[in-house]
Amino acid sequence: MTAQSAVETAPVLQVSDLEVSFRAARRRVVRAVDGVSFTVREDEALGIIGESGCGKTTTGKTVAQLERPSAGAIAFRGEDLVGASHARRKQLRRRIQFVFQDPQSSLNPRMTVQDIIAEPLRAFGEWRGRQSRDDVVAMLDQVGLSPSALHRYPHEFSGGQRQRIGIARGLALDPDLLVLDEPVSALDVSIQAQILNLLMDLRAARSLGIVMISHDLDVIRHVTDRVVVMYLGVIVEQGPAEEVLTSPAHPYTAALASATPPSRPDEKRERIVLSGDVPSPLDPPSGCRFRTRCWRADDLCAQRRPELEPMGAGGRTVACFHPLDVLAGRPSAAAGEGRA
């Protein structure tokens, strides 16, 4: 697992065959995440996309140790998190921080900003009085807030400022990996850009790995290097974000991408409207989970579950028996597009 080419940074997070199940009514079990694998390297931003209920938040929370996996492995800098002792897991947990979707409800309204940001430090026994207060001020400065924020309460701030406070709190323990769940979906577009730019600056300044969950493909395209596309608890396609989103190989990715306006005038794009709803995760279709809504599906798709297979040279993998021609509608492959 440690094989590594000279150009790639070290993996911060390696997720292998992750499964997360929840008990549902009448003693049934929902497998919200069903065999998901991906890697996040230092300095890298990975996007997770997919329709509501496909398991994005559950994946993110499990990685950040807020949910327990039912199977699979999570390695942080090569060290197993799932089988680690409670004490060791607590030590490692601080290196992976989760920023909640809704800053309105995730920040305690009765705590001052100073206490909100300091809470993780206190929880890990790292509050050092004046030194830590200075650190909190420095943290506020990094996210573009003045020291006057310290003694104010969340309701005194705008949505964008509250999201900054949430990010400052996530950074308090100087994590290696930040998992952000829809960090900008509640914000105005102009404020979204500010927060996304802030995240990109922080990533560069701190060698931070980022996992960003979002419905918004433009956001993913703007911020992430690689993207994972989930459908009903499984990954259907993953690879370089720009490449995957401009020339999808999996029909599901194509349908998602077709709902977003093209980013370049030379991009051909027809809107693909999927029929039906996402099937219940309590009773997923046999074979390929997407087949009940897929216009390319045939008998094979009902009989066998497609595995993720490499496609092209860019490190993309696709789980589909009938993938789309990724070069159609594109002037060239994404080579030389200059992503870090």
Q: Both tokens of residue 215? A: 């419905």
Smallest distance, Å, CB 86 to ligand ATP? 21
User: CB-wise, 53 or 314, nearer to ligand ATP?
Assistant: 53
Smallest distance, Å, CB 61 to Mg ion? 9
Residue with CB nearest Mg ion? Answer: 57
User: CB-wise, 65 or 214, nearer to Mg ion?
Assistant: 214
User: CB-wise, 94 or 250, nearer to ligand ATP?
Assistant: 250
What's the CA dihedral at 307, 234, 84, 123 to 10 degrees?
A: 150
Residue 102: C-alpha distances to residues 106, 216, 334 (Å): 6, 15, 34
Smallest distance, Å, CB 26 to ligand ATP? 13
Size of the site for Mg ion (CB under 5 A): 1
Distance of CA 221 to the CA centre of its chain: 12
Under the criterion CB under 6 A, does residue 56 sit at the interface with ligand ATP? Answer: yes
The label of the residue with tokens 């074979």 reads 287
Single-letter amino acid code for the residue at 12:
V
Taken as a whole, the chain contains a residue count of 340
Size of the site for ligand ATP (CB under 6 A): 12
Smallest distance, Å, CB 57 to ligand ATP? 3
Q: Can you tell me which of 16, 19, 22, 104 binds ligand ATP, judged by CB under 6 A?
A: 22
User: Rounded distance, CA 233 to CA 250, Å?
Assistant: 16
For 231, the enclosing helix (H) or strand (E) is: strand 226-231
What does 69 interact with, of Mg ion, ligand ATP, none (CB < 5 to 8 A by kind)?
none
Smallest distance, Å, CB 52 to ligand ATP? 3
The label of the residue with tokens 């590594």 reads 4
Instruction: List CB contacts of 200: < 8 A, sequence separation 6 or more.
Output: 45, 223
Smallest distance, Å, CB 137 to Mg ion? 32
Smallest distance, Å, CB 263 to Mg ion? 25
Under the criterion CB under 5 A, does residue 62 sit at the interface with Mg ion? Answer: no
Single-letter amino acid code for the residue at 227:
V
Under the criterion CB under 6 A, does residue 53 sit at the interface with ligand ATP? Answer: yes
User: Rounded distance, CA 193 to CA 174, Å?
Assistant: 23
Compose the 29-48 pattern: x for residues touching ligand ATP by CB under 6 A, - for all others. -x-x----------------
Nearest Cα neighbor of 21 from 70, 78, 92, 57 is 70
Smallest distance, Å, CB 268 to ligand ATP? 28
User: CB-wise, 270 or 283, nearer to ligand ATP?
Assistant: 283
Q: Can you tell me which of 14, 58, 97, 238 binds ligand ATP, judged by CB under 6 A?
A: 58
The 8-class DSSP code of residue 330 comes to -
Q: What angle do CA 133, 44, 100 make, to 5 degrees?
A: 50
What's the CA dihedral at 47, 89, 118, 199 to 10 degrees?
A: -20
Half-sphere exposure of 330 (CA within 13 A, CB side): 18
Stretch that binds Mg ion, among 41-49, 57-65, 111-119, 223-231 (CB under 5 A): 57-65
User: CB-wise, 20 or 171, nearer to ligand ATP?
Assistant: 20
User: CB-wise, 53 or 147, nearer to Mg ion?
Assistant: 53
Under the criterion CB under 6 A, does residue 279 sit at the interface with ligand ATP? Answer: no
Q: What angle do CA 151, 154, 156 make, to 5 degrees?
A: 80
Q: Both tokens of residue 167? A: 């990010």
Under the criterion CB under 6 A, does residue 247 sit at the interface with ligand ATP? Answer: no
Smallest distance, Å, CB 242 to Mg ion? 24
Under the criterion CB under 5 A, does residue 57 sit at the interface with Mg ion? Answer: yes
Residues that bind ligand ATP (CB under 6 A): 22, 30, 32, 50, 52-58, 281
> Interface residues with Mg ion (CB under 5 A)?
57
